[in-house]
Structure 1
Amino acid sequence: MATEKEMEAPEEAVEEAVEGPFYLENVLIPEESEDSYQYEEVALEDDWSLTEGEEDLEAALKAIGSRTEDIVSVEQATFSGKPPVSHIPEALDDFLRNFLVKMGMRKTLDCFQTEWYEMAQRGSLNTELVGFVPHAYMHSQLLEQEVKSVERERDDYRKASFEAAETLVKLQKERDFHRMQHKRVVQEKNALVKDIRRLKKHYASYESALRQLNDKYKVALKQKMFTGLERDKALEKLHSLEVCAPSVRGSRAPQSLGPRSVSCAHQSEGKRKSRATKWDGLQAASAGPSGSSRDPSKSVSRKWPKDSEFPVDAHTNASLSQAKTLSSHAPHLSDFCLTGTLHGHTLPISCLALHPHKKVIATASDDHQWKVWDVSTGEVIMAKHGHSDWLSGCCFHPNGGSLATASGDTTVKVWDFLLGRCLLTLQGHTHAAWGCSFHSCGLFLASCSMDNTAKVWDLQSERCRATLRGHADSVNSVAFLPFSNMLLTCSADKTLSLWDARTSLCTHTFYGHLYSCNYAAFNTAGDSVASCDSHGAIKLWDIRKAATVTTLDAGPRAGNQVAFSPSGHVLAVASDDGTVKLVELTSMEVCSLGGHSDAVQSVVFDHKGENLLSGGSDGTVAIWSGKKCTPVVCAATSEKLK
């Protein structure tokens, strides 16, 4: 039996447990505790495995049952003298403790634990009356777990559905793109089929004409042979008569010849010489291109008397020294800001051109009008109407005294500033003319058109010297290489071509654009070309290597025009999204300038590269300065002729 001090020890331990969380450390274990029980070691029997005779299921079950009964009897014999171990269902009190801890009710938890363990020590706690936690709580916990798992599955399904929706949208876009491509290919195929059929009909119509010409040639050849035979007979007869004439005259002549007879002899000699001369001329004429009497080296091709001669291609560029000087003082992209706007056109501005020597620009617009502006004051120097349709391009003469304009009425006009009128109208394109460019010598003008051709015009003889054919679609831009006879064209057939203006031959074609190429321009040094297409792709080409240097995606809106700065380190792009994009070519850094309310159609740098001018579809010209942002004239309404 335990002493009174030992019985009072649990109460003291409970009182100490209220003060701290580790109240079971000082509890004394009575001597009659179950932990002093000495368990007997049960050895495993060697014959536990089934024998060969026990392979039958019923026999195996009987053997297992007998062994189970033996084990139970051994346990009863072992624990027969000991009291049974009491089982206390702790589910309910644990549930209460967890609930109180979760709710933060620490005081209530301490009171509950104190009273519970006091009753347990005094033996007044009837464990049989303590029930388990209701099954509804366990069921609710299971349901909560199921709900959480269902929510996780729902989130996974939602994420999968979102991914499937994105994939579906992507596939739909790809399908639409391929469908458009298929339609475009079908349209091109139908157009090619129509062209082939038209050409077949055209060739069929030529067959009858060729037969007729062949028949006429045979008839003419027969007549020529007959005429030649008759001529040979007449010449032989004439020669025989000339041989017989002296003998006849000698037999009839008197001993002494008078003045009259001498004169007659001189006349006959002159007639013979004239006949011989005519005969030589007939022989030269009768000898055809393959005749032995014609010298090919002496053949002279037909040439117009007023035709100009192309200058010798010396490969010297007078602007290189200036470009090297300006490269060290070029402004940074972040320095450009809007300093002024010129308002003067009611319809979109399609092209800008910078005067070669002065701070003057020309604008061409869809309102059938072109204007010349003074950038410093914002005043209109000259404004003219002359075309019957929209204007698509303009460029200054190298001496700055005239301006060329291209229009949708298929003509190219040259305007003289001193006379203030149209000096020359060049007609030859069958569709709208897209642009024009002067040769550095000022004697030739190149133009491009929607009729898939580019033309080189001689301004002195006022005629077309060459028609450049080779593109399969509209030729959108044309430009002469500075101080050279090379010509650059870009087309809607996604290619760029270099031409020799003297021979009208294509020297090289650049492939790489995936969409219609809208514009191409040379840099100041003339060794690089920049081009842009209808999906915003910008490509830099090396002329010497005939290869792509780099490609920059500035899309998805179209790039309408590109322009190099005089230093050659910055490229400006007129974009269809209403911004001007500046590209630093050394670092490929891109900066966007927003100032137009509609698409930007044209861009041009000034002579030093300090200012940038852009013309847009909103009818305005924006002036961007790379130096200090000082305001300039923002509107111009007066027109002044100088």
Structure 2
Amino acid sequence: MKEKMLTRLERDRLSARVKALEEAAATAAAAKDAEKASGGEDMSAAAGATAPPLKKTTQKKKTTGAAAALPTDMENPFWNVRFEPADVKNLGLTKTFKGHSLAVSAVALHPTKPVCATASDDRTWKMWALPDGELVMAGEGHRDWVSTVAFHPKGLHLASGSGDATVKLWDFQSGTCALTFKEHTHAVWSVAFHLHGDLLLSASLDHSARMWDIVSQRCRTTFRGHVDSVNEVVWQPYAAALATASSDKTVSVWDARTGLCAQTYYGHYNSCNGLAFNLRGDTIASCDADGVVKVWDVRMVAERLSIDVGPHPVSALAIDRSGELVACASDDGRVRVHSLTDGSEQANMLAHDDAVQSLAWDPNGKFLLTGGSDKSFRLFG
């Protein structure tokens, strides 16, 4: 699928070059009119129905030399806290929402409010109130499918990544796209905010991950070392480290302060599609296209467990707040929940009519949110 996407991107780039040459032959006035007619990046608010687009505004680049502070290792407040595992035995479909015209590629939960965001191949992201599924806001501006979304820790912004190779930051208060980062050369698969919100990570098909400085509005660090697409990037909780999963079959841990790879985990035999840290930050779970989930001990730098969830590829996973359960999104439309202690299967649900592409646990452990290729997102509680 990624090879097809890469071919599509190359085709679009060639088309864009031809178009640029044609526009160069036109007069300056005609070029200006064409730029105005190309449309803007709008966010529209709605309550059960789509509302008119909000007024577009232009974000001025900052001229100060201010920059966000680099992350530091902090004391993890959840290190000695134990949460009860999610009650997966009684987990069942609560509601199905159909709000996109194409596949739902990603879901994300608001850090403080009963709100979720969805990303879709229809080039839009949308924000919904839970549990009723009322449309709160929608964002249009990407020129290709939207592959990922993530809420700012304070809940006032949303980051999105797209097949158009851009990362966008959306401001809920002004109702506009506040920033666009264009340094990636191929599709962006994953974005993740640091705990403090001033630094944003992205992972791309161009074999790199990048750290963006929201304060200075520039790329702060580029993490290079993978030899294939970087499919997911996540921050280690309360630490200065991040982890990446790649199609080169490896998982790497990086120091955000130096930009250097601190550790690489080998053991997958196919493309690594997703990964997640537990809340304590001492365990990483990763999944691959063979349907295998591997559990890594961060402190021992070793594989702790291998779980066969196949035979279908696992595209995403999420660890519940107890750190004892991992939910796996499978291409056969099912969500399987396994124990991170012994690998035993705790639940097996038919979640979607097509491949499950994304999932997220409620921070309070009460429900599971999923998104699928059947154009829907679903709530299990």
Structure 1 partner of 2:176: 421
Q: In 2, distance between residues paired with 1:448 and 1:461?
A: 20
Q: In 2, distance between residues paired with 1:603 and 1:308?
A: 30
Q: CA deviation at 1:377?
A: 2.0
Q: Does 1:624 align with 2:346?
A: no
Structure 2 partner of 1:460: 215
Q: CA deviation at 1:307?
A: 1.9
**Residue from 603, 608, 620 that aligns with 2:359:** 603
Q: In 2, distance between residues paired with 1:312 and 1:555?
A: 38
Q: Does 1:498 align with 2:258?
A: no
1:448-481 deviations in Å (ceiling 9; x for gaps) = 1001011111111111111111001000000111
Amino acid at match of 1:621: F
1:291-329 deviations in Å (ceiling 9; x for gaps) = xxxxxxxxxxxxx82222214322x123446x51x32xx
Q: Is the 8 A contact 2:357 2:371 kept in 1?
A: yes
How does 1:242-257 map onto structure 2 within 5 Å? none
1:261-289 deviations in Å (ceiling 9; x for gaps) = xxxxxxxxxxxxxxxxxxxxxxxxxxxxx
Q: In 2, distance between residues paired with 1:516 and 1:311?
A: 29
Q: Does 1:307 align with 2:67?
A: yes
Amino acid at match of 2:69: E
Structure 1 partner of 2:16: none
Amino acid at match of 1:390: W
Structure 2 partner of 1:299: none
Q: Is the 8 A contact 2:66 2:215 kept in 1?
A: yes
Structure 1 partner of 2:349: 593
Amino acid at match of 1:460: V
Q: In 2, distance between residues paired with 1:516 and 1:307?
A: 35
Q: In 2, distance between residues paired with 1:571 and 1:441?
A: 26
Amino acid at match of 1:317: N
**SS of residue in 1 equivalent to 2:357:** strand
**Residue from 257, 270, 288 that aligns with 1:533:** 288
Give the strand-richer structure, 1 or 2: 2
Structure 2 partner of 1:573: 328
**Residue from 95, 100, 105 that aligns with 1:350:** 105
Q: Is the 8 A contact 1:333 1:584 kept in 2?
A: no
Amino acid at match of 2:344: E
- TM-score, structure 2 as length reference: 0.81
Give the structure with higher Rg (CA). 1
Q: CA deviation at 1:497?
A: 0.4
Q: In 2, distance between residues paired with 1:527 and 1:498?
A: 12
Structure 1 partner of 2:196: 441
**SS of residue in 1 equivalent to 2:72:** coil
1:213-241 deviations in Å (ceiling 9; x for gaps) = xxxxxxxxxxxxxxxxxxxxxxxxxxxxx
Structure 2 partner of 1:563: 318
Q: Which has the higher contact order (CA 8 A, sep 6+)?
A: 2
Q: CA deviation at 1:552?
A: 0.8
- TM-score, structure 1 as length reference: 0.49
Q: CA deviation at 1:441?
A: 1.1
- In structure 1, stretches of 5+ residues that fail to align are 1-303, 626-642
Q: Is the 8 A contact 2:356 2:371 kept in 1?
A: yes
Evaluate the alpha carbon distance shift between residue 401 and residue 605 of structure 1 in structure 2; reply closer, same or farther with a 3 A threshold: same
Q: Is the 8 A contact 1:373 1:379 kept in 2?
A: yes
Q: CA deviation at 1:365?
A: 0.4
Q: Is the 8 A contact 1:500 1:506 kept in 2?
A: yes
Structure 2 partner of 1:14: none
**SS of residue in 2 equivalent to 1:448:** strand
Q: Does 1:451 align with 2:186?
A: no
How does 1:352-431 map onto structure 2 within 5 Å? 352-431=107-186
Give the helix-richer structure, 1 or 2: 1
Q: In 2, distance between residues paired with 1:523 and 1:472?
A: 27
Structure 1 partner of 2:54: none
Q: CA deviation at 1:331?
A: 3.9
**SS of residue in 2 equivalent to 1:334:** helix
- In structure 2, stretches of 5+ residues that fail to align are 1-63
Structure 2 partner of 1:9: none
Q: CA deviation at 1:587?
A: 4.4
1:511-566 deviations in Å (ceiling 9; x for gaps) = 00000100111011110000000010010000000111110111111000010001
CA RMSD in angstroms comes to 1.2
Q: In 1, distance between residues paired with 2:181 and 2:197?
A: 16
Q: Is the 8 A contact 2:71 2:256 kept in 1?
A: no
Q: In 2, distance between residues paired with 1:389 and 1:318?
A: 40
Q: Is the 8 A contact 1:440 1:484 kept in 2?
A: no
Q: In 1, distance between residues paired with 2:166 and 2:299?
A: 34
